Amino acid sequence: MNAKKHVNHSALSLLALIAVVFILYILKPFIVPILFAIILSVMVFPLQRFLEKKWRCNRLFATLTCVIALIFLVGLVFFLISSRLMYFMDNSELYSQKLGELFQKSVNSLEHTFNIGNNRLFSQQDLKAENIIKANLDKIVILLTESSSIISDLVLIPIYVFFFLYYRAFFRTFIYKAFKSKSKSFINNVLNRIYEIQQNYLLGLITVIFIVGCLNSLGLLALGIGNPFFFGFLAAFLLLIPYIGVIIGSLLPAIIALATKDSAWYAIGVIGVFGFIQFLEGNFITPKVTGSKVSVNAFVAISSLVLFSMLWGITGMILALPITATLKILFDSTPGYEAYGFLIGEPVDKHLQSRARLRLKKWKSLRKAKYS
C-alpha cells in the first residue's frame, strides 16, 4: 500500500513538474519581464530605502526617482554600446574587404601547400555586407520580429519595477496570507535571505564586470587593438551570460584585429588574453568578490544554464543563476525538499576526498585526542 502511494506521489510530482515547465515556456513573454523587474528592484532598493529613511521622502517620490535613475542608467549603457556598434557598421565594407583579402590569401596558401588546385570556395563578393544581409534575410526578419517583444519588455519592466517598489508592503502581506501555516518571522527570514542573495549576486556581478572590464581593456591596449575600453567592457558586460558571454565578447575584437592588423597573431593574442582573464575571473576574482553567499556548485550552474537556455533562450541564461540560487533557499526552507537544496549547494571538503583519505584523517584526529 505504501509502495503504491509512493508511486502515485512520484507520478503526480512528475506531472506537476511537466505542467510547470509547460507554463513557464508558454508564458515567457509575461514571466521574463517580471523576473527582470524583480532583480532590478532588488538592485535599486538600497536607493529607495536611502531616500525614504535618510531624506524622509514619501514612497511615491522615492519610487519615481529610483525608476527614472534606472531608466537613465540603462539608456546610457545602450546608447554607448549602440553608438559604437553603428560606427563599426559604417566601416563594415572596409573590414569585410580586408577580411576577404586575408581569407583569399589563406585559401591560396592552403591550395599551394596541399596542391588542391585553384578552386575558390568563397569569392570576395560573398563577403560583402550587402550579400551577407541578402543571404541571411530570413534571420534578420526573425530578429526584427523578436525585437518588437524586446521593446515591449523595455516598456513593461520599468512599470513592474515601480509597482514592486511602491507595493512592496502590500505584496509581503499577500505572502503572509498565502502561507498562513508559516509564521511571519519564518517568512521574513526566507524573504530576507532571498533578498540578500540576489543583492550579493548583483553587487558581486557589477564589481566583477568592472574588474574584468579594466583587465580586458589593458590587455587590448597592450596589443594595440583599437577602441580597447569599448571592447574590454563590452566583453565584461557579456559576463551576464555565464561561461559563454566571454567567448562572444572576444570574437568581435578578434575579428577587428584580423581586419586592422598585419598578422593573425594579434587575433590569437586577443583570444589568449580574454581566455586568461576568464580563467582569473572564474578561479580567483569571482570567488573572492562574491564569496560563498551565492553557493551554487559548478555542475548545477552549467546544467541550469543549459536548461534555462532551452526554455527561454539568452534571457534564460541571464536569469539561470539568480533563479537557481533562489530555488536553493526555497528548497532549504521547505520540509521534504532539503535534499534538492543540498544538491544545488557547494560540496564540502569531505565530499571531494577519497574514503581512504577520510579514514586516515579520522584516525589521526582520534589518535590526537587520545594522546592529548
**Tens digits of residue pLDDT in 111-149:** 667 666 555 544 545 545 445 544 554 554 454 445 456
pLDDT, residue 78, reads 83
pLDDT of residue 285: 80
Q: Please give the Cα distance from 153 to 228 (Å, whole number).
A: 31
C-alpha to C-alpha distance for 97 and 259, rounded to whole angstroms: 8
Mean pLDDT of 79-100: 73
| CB neighbour class for 257 (10 Å; exposed up to 12, middle 13-18, buried from 19) | buried
Per-residue pLDDT, 53: 92
Q: Which of 268, 228, 274, 230 is nearest to 250 (CA)?
A: 274
Question: What residues have CB less than 8 Å from 219, skipping those under 6 apart?
Answer: 228, 232, 270, 273, 274, 277
Residue 299 host element (H or E) = helix 298-312
Q: Mean pLDDT for the chain?
A: 81
> Residue 82 has what pLDDT?
79
The span from the CA of 98 to the CA of 96, in Å, is 6
Residue 115 CB coordination number (10 Å): 7
Summarize the confidence of residues 9-32 as an average pLDDT. 88
CA distance 45 to 272: 39
- Of the pLDDT bands very low, low, confident and very high (cuts 50, 70, 90), residue 248 is confident
- Looking at per-residue pLDDT, the higher value among 157 and 84 belongs to 157
Q: What is the pTM of this model?
A: 0.80
Q: Across the chain, which distance is largest between two alpha carbons, in Å?
A: 83
Question: How large is the average pLDDT for residues 288-312?
Answer: 79
Least confident of 5-19, 20-34, 68-82: 5-19
Tell me which range, 140-154, 172-186, 200-214, is most confidently predicted by mean pLDDT.
Answer: 172-186
Tell me the mean pLDDT in the region 218-244. Answer: 87
Give CA torsion, residues 220, 225, 231, 235, to 10 deg: -50
Confidence of residue 360 (pLDDT cuts 50, 70, 90): low
| pLDDT digit string, tens, across residues 262-296 | 788 888 899 999 989 988 887 778 777 765 556 78
Whether residue 80 is predicted with pLDDT greater than 70 in this model: the reply is yes
> What's the mean pLDDT in 244-252?
80
For the chain, the first-to-last Cα distance in angstroms comes to 54
Q: Give 6-71 as a DSSP string.
A: HHHHHHHHHHHHHHHHHHHHHTHHHHHHHHHHHHHHHHHHHHHHHHHHTS---HHHHHHHHHHHHH
Residue 133 has a pLDDT of 45
Q: Angle, to 10 degrees, between the axis of helix 265-280 and the axis of helix 184-223?
A: 150
| Residue 323 identity | I
pLDDT digits (tens, 9 = 90+) for 344-356: 988 866 555 666 5
pLDDT: which is higher, 359 or 314: 314
Q: Say how far apart CA 127 and CA 125 lie, in whole Å.
A: 5
Q: 224 in helix, strand or coil? A: coil
CA distances from 88 to 82, 100, 304 (A): 10, 17, 34
C-alpha R_g of the chain: 26
- The three three-digit cell numbers of residue 227, written as one number: 577602441
